[in-house]
Amino acid sequence: ATAAAAAGGGAPGGGATASRSARYVVLTEVPTEDSLDFIRGNATMKSMDVALLLFNASSPSSFLFAQDLERELPDTLPRLYVATHSDAASTGPGARAGGEASALAQALVHCQEQGSPEPLPLSVPTHEGVEGLMAKLLAVAHRPNEGVPCAIQERRKQELFHRRVVNASTAAALVLGVGVATVYLAGATRDSRAK
C-alpha cells in the first residue's frame, strides 16, 4: 500500500532541463512501513515539487495516517490529498463506522480548513479521477501556491495588509486635502479682508 507519493519535476536527478519542452514527472513511492521515518530522514523530500497524500476513502484511519504524514512535510511543499477507492466510500465497511464521518468527509473538512485543494476522488475500476489526477498534479507542480496551505493563508494576509494600507493612505490623503483646503480658504479670507 502506498502511504504517499511525491513528484519532482525537471530532468532526471532533479536538475533543470535545457529545453523548456522537456519535462519529467518522477514519482517516488513512500512505503507504508516506516513512512514517517522515511519522510523525516529523506533529503530527496526537500527537492520534491508536490506530495500526494493517498488515503482509502472508506477508511477514517487511513485518512488520519495521511494527516500524520502531512504534518511531517515541509510547510512550503504543495500537497494534494487523493481519495482512493472512492467508488466504495459510501457503501464500503467503515464508511460511517460508529457514527464517525467518512474519510472523504473528514478530508473535505480538513482541506477547506487548511485552504488546500479538495481531495481528488480516484477509482481504478470506474476510472473516476484518473485523468484529473495527472492534470491536477501538473497544475500544482507548475503553480505551487495552489497546493500550499500556508501560501494561501499568507496571500490572504498580504491582501488584507494591502487593503489596510490603501485605506489608510486614502484617509491620510483626505485629511491632508481638507487641511490644505482649510489653510487656502483661511488665507483667501485674510486676503479679501485686507483689501
The per-residue pLDDT string of the chain (195 residues; one tens digit each, 9 = 90 and over) reads 444 555 555 444 444 444 566 667 777 777 666 666 666 666 666 677 888 888 998 889 989 988 888 888 877 788 889 998 887 765 444 444 444 578 888 998 988 888 888 888 888 888 888 888 888 888 888 777 777 776 556 666 777 787 888 887 887 777 777 777 787 777 767 767 766
Rg (CA), the chain: 26
d(CA 152, CA 76): 11
- Beta carbons of 3 and 65 less than 8 angstroms apart: yes
Q: What is the pTM of this model?
A: 0.60
CB atoms under 10 Å from CB of 94, counted, come to 18
- Beta carbons of 65 and 38 less than 8 angstroms apart: no
